[in-house]
Amino acid sequence: MWQRNPVRLLTRCLALLAAVLVALAAPALAADETAHDWAAVVGNEYRILPNITYHVANQYEAKLDVYLPRNGPKPAPTLIYIHGGGWVGGLKESVALRLLPYMKLGMAVVNVEYRLGRVSLAPAAVADCRCALRWVIEHADEHGFDPSRIVVTGTSAGGHLSLTTGMLDPAAGLDNECPGEKPLQVAAIVNFYGITDVGSLLSGPNQKSYAVAWLGSLANAQEVARRVSPMTYVRKGLPPTLTIHGDADPTVPYEHGVQLHKALDKAGVANQLLTIPGGRHGGFTNEETLRIQKTIDEFLIKHGILRATS
C-alpha cells in the first residue's frame, strides 16, 4: 500500500497522528475541534512530495520529503528539518509530527535524510545537508520556496547539522559535492540541543559513543571534528540563531549551547538561548513545549521570516 500511494498514506497517517497528539496533549482545550483543525491542515491544505532524491554519493541516494501549502502567498517561508540520532541513527519519517506546528503557520517544509555513519563517516552528513540546502535554493521557483526566508532546524545531531548547514564557510570545502552559483544562505537557525564542539565528545569526561562512532577510526579524527564543529565557524554576519537546551541534558552537554551563545554574542550575531530548567535531552513537558514553540514563533517574527498575523 505504501508503495502504491505513499502520498495518500503519509497524509492519512499525519492527520491521524495529529488528532491523537492534540487529544492527548491538550485535554483542557476543545480537543475534538482542535484535532479536526490540525487534521484539516495536513489533509486539505498541503500536498506532499515524498522521497525526492536530492543527492547521490557513495552509491547512496539521499532523499527528502516536501510539504507544500496549497493556499497562501507564494513564495512561502520554508523550513528545512533535519532529524537527530547521533549521526548514526534516525529516520526522517520519525519526526513527521514535529513538522505540524510549522505547517500550521503556512510554511513550506522540507524533511531531510542524510548519510548515517554506517554508510559514510564524518563529514558526509554535513555535506549532505548542505546539498539539501542547495536543492531547496535551486528548486525555489519550481516549488514556491522563498530563498530569502529559509529556516533550518533539527534536534540533537539534527541541531548540529542545522548549525553547520547555516554557518559553514564555503572555504571549508564541504560544499564541493553540490557546486552552484547561488550562495548557500539561510535566514535563521533554530537549534534544539545540538552539538557545537564535536571534538569535546571524542574523549575525556564528555566522551559520547555516538560521536566516536561517527568519526570511527579516522586517523585525523580531531581535525575532521574541528571541520564539522559549529564553533569553528562563528563569525560576524551569521544568520540569527535560536538555541533550545535543557540544563540537565545527559546526552549533549548544556555547556555546548552556552558556549555557542557566548561566542555568537561576542561576534555580534543576533541569537538567543532558551534554557529549559531541569530539561533533559528532549522529552519536555507540554508546558515547556508550548513555551518553546511560542519562543520560536516570536523569534521568526522578530527576524522577518513570519508575519505577526501568522
Domain membership of residue 20 (yes or no) is: yes
Give which of 156, 160, 90 is closest to 122, Cα–Cα.
160
Task: Give the pLDDT confidence of 175-196 residue by residue, as tens digits.
Answer: 999 999 999 999 999 999 999 9
State whether 78 and 169 are in the same domain: yes
15 and 164 together in one domain: no
pLDDT confidence bin for 73, thresholds 50/70/90: confident
Instruction: Please say if the pLDDT value at position 40 is more than 60.
Output: no
pLDDT averaged over every residue in the chain: 89
Residues 161 and 35 in one domain: no
Q: Is residue 23 part of a domain?
A: yes
Amino acid identity for residue 150 in this structure: I
Strand ranges in 133-210 using DSSP code E only, listed in sequence order: 145-155, 188-192
Q: Name the pLDDT band for 308 (thresholds 50, 70, 90).
A: confident
Residues 149 and 38 in one domain: no
Q: Is residue 121 part of a domain?
A: yes
The CATH code of the domain that includes 295 is 3.40.50.1820
Q: Do the domain assignments include residue 307?
A: no
Cα 164 to the center of its chain, rounded Å: 11
Statement to judge: residues 175 and 117 lie in one domain: yes
Whether residue 280 is contained in a domain is answered as: yes
- Do 33 and 126 have their domain in common? no
Q: Per-residue pLDDT tens for 3-33?
A: 445 555 555 555 544 443 443 344 433 444 4
Residue 308 inside a domain? The answer is: no
Structural domains of the chain, count:
2
Among the ranges given (20-29, 94-103, 168-177, 262-271), the one the predictor scored with the smallest mean pLDDT: 20-29
Measured distance CA(133)–CA(152) in Å, rounded: 9
Cα–Cα distance for residue pair 104/172, rounded to 1 Å: 36
Structural domain span for residue 99:
49-302
